[in-house]
Structure 1
Amino acid sequence: MTDLYERHRAVIPDWVALYYKQPIEITHGEGRHVWDADGNRYLDFFGGILTTMTAHALPEVTKAVSDQAGRLIHSSTLYLNRPMVELAERIAALSGIPDARVFFTTSGTEANDTALLLATGHRRSNQILAMRNSYHGRSFSAVSVTGNHAWSPTSLSPLQTLYVHGGVRSRGPFAQLSDAQFIEACVADLEDLLGHTHDVAALIAEPVQGVGGFTSPPDGLYAAFREVLDRHGILWISDEVQTGWGRTGEHFWGWQAHGRSGPPDILTFAKGIGNGMSVGGVVARAGIMNCLDANSISTFGGSPVTMAAGVANLSYLLEHDLQGNARRVGGLLIERLRGIAAGVPAVREVRGRGLMIGIELVRPGTDEADPQAAATVLEAAREGGLLIGKGGGHDTSVLRIAPPLSLTVAEAEEGALVLERALRRL
């Protein structure tokens, strides 16, 4: 493994992060488990950054990929593509957006980049509202609407971005308010901000902030924002790259927690729909999607192979009610973790929905983030046979837990026991 690590360092950029002091090579997986090159078996509580949505090596998906690859691997969007049309039809119906059109990309970054192109083109404005502590990808436009300095490497931008309060409930100037007062204060902040601008194109927001540490506002915030946005003609882009497909348990899309707002104007998705294949996309009503007045195609977006995987994966998800499983097993897991955290002074908060759970670590007795504690727990969990992630806006001090949605109760308990031992080492 040392040899592969040295080869990696010789040819891969320094800014491509690796987990662990001794990085591991994952060679294969099955169900909710993966194995490394040394034969060690791990329970996977991170799913390739929330991407292995159903299960590793899911037979239905691997067969769909194999069958399609045996027929045709690639054609581009210049030709009719049956798997792409089938998946688009299903996603359009599930999105809740009327008269929806779907454009497929190869990643969440590209999906958000496309959404920003559509919004600015439709509104003829390059002003964008974004949430503090947000993350929307690594392209030039996506980092310019990312409100987390750790993931935004340049201040140069093709967009004029203004940041709004509300993505983090338990920190910031409104943290001590009740939920209703918090929403009222954030709306007042938005109103005040718009009073100093003109012709804003869109608000882009994650219903649950992923890289930011699985933070979220009280339910209803984006519905309240939507009332303000609609008065100004401003579009709402819901970034569902991490929250989509039922991961939050209570809803199929994250925006549905803010239900009275209705569906967003533009919805972006990626990660879980391909179960590891490179699938992303944008959904918007026809009037917005068709606003571009130049030709466009996608060479790799909507690939026959990735679309076949998406159709099979979505079918499995719906037929086996994995959203319901995320709600049930995730609810048990989060309560179990809160019980463990009650005895660990370094844990500030356990939060989340469904199988999207964050454990925020601080220096005991303070609200000061402790990224070293997060790194320690990450290593200890790996030693115990569990893979988790980390993130957070106040340095990287939040443990991120997002296993495949087919997680069993027994596996949830197994992972909780490993985390308990790792946390107690603090």
Structure 2
Amino acid sequence: MQKPKIYFVPHYIGSLKHFERLIPYVGEKYDVGFLAIDKNIERSRALAEYCKNKKYEFKFFDIESSGAKRFRMPFFTGMSERYKQCEIYRNFLNAKKPQKIIFTKTWYHHNLFLREANKKDVETILLFFTGPTHHLVYGSLSSRTVPIGRKLKIIFKRIQQFVTDFVFHTIDFMYSIQKSIQYKKNVSQPNKIGIFNEYERTIGRAGGYDAKSVCVVGSPDFQITHELKSKINANRSLRSDLLGKYGLNENKLKILFIIYRFYSLPPLAEHRMSIQEHLSHHQGILRTIRTVFSEKEADILLKMHPGEKMIYDSYKNLGVKIYHDESRTDELVCLSDLYIADPTTHVNNMAFAIGIPALFINFSKLHFLNNLMEYFHIKHIVTDREDFIEKLRQFKQGALEKQYENSSIDFGSVDNLIKFIG
């Protein structure tokens, strides 16, 4: 008997790998596939290549190709392309007949697909991939940290979306009258929204959605990482295999460093770093770690952001081991003795899941990054070199106090999530 179809819609390689870890849990019930709705060809090619290597079903909807090199008339060209895109989505939905479609984000270019899926009574679900970093760090549209150009672009997009939605709803209404069928207003919003915790609800992360459709499911990183750590502790052979996989020495401390990408920030002139400034900033942090832990004592493991370009080779002179997309972050976390990261990364959830000693640092001028302290239940953020050295020495002496609170973690988060998906 053929299994019902479920599609995940990742927005880049990182969210695809996040969803990929759910396949063992949903694969028995559903036939799993991946979709990309994007205008970034390079990002979508990376998704396609990964799925090809893993033999996953993959479909890319190129929302930029139609009419990209011809004369464009404001509004009318957009409406024409929108109608053509609707046809593509309808044909896909009619052919594949998916039961559920799960998104990590509902950006503007997802709206049309969401609307067509809702028209076909396909269950649409939004599952956030990371914590509300953007919401807490950059604030609302009125925030001073949002550049004026970005504000104007967002406002224009919202006006355009309102107008085009109104036109399409009017066309649907007139069509239903002509065909004597019941009119059903289909909105470009998911049927269900899964958030990590109640705090996200209080800060309005799911604002704009029907409150009844929002459900707390927790981060799947809690259960997946906790279970992986338990397996590694119980199986010496597995641990040995993983150490070999990453070229690590059992007899040396392993310090995992998760880097914040300062060069990829929105163009805030007073804060954003160039790539060279970014490299110099983190090289200073690595040199500080080496003042406390020599290369003979400890390996420093640097996990690059998914899809990030290879720009860290100069760090190898400090005995830093660099891991890219070929590595699994949860495996590196579980093998490590000390975790060092900025206060915003969702990898923090993996560290909390296994209770690893951790330091959270922010030596930059971006003080608003510390807004994630309450969300992640972080007790202390290191902001100067002297405090950093002292905390590293405390860890070395076995005297480092716990820097976060994780007593309320739900280690059944994946079970909750699968129940939510249905």
TM-score by length of 2: 0.26
Q: Kindly name which structure, 1 or 2, has the bigger radius of gyration based on alpha carbons.
A: 2
TM-score by length of 1: 0.26
Structure (1 or 2) with the greater helix fraction: 2
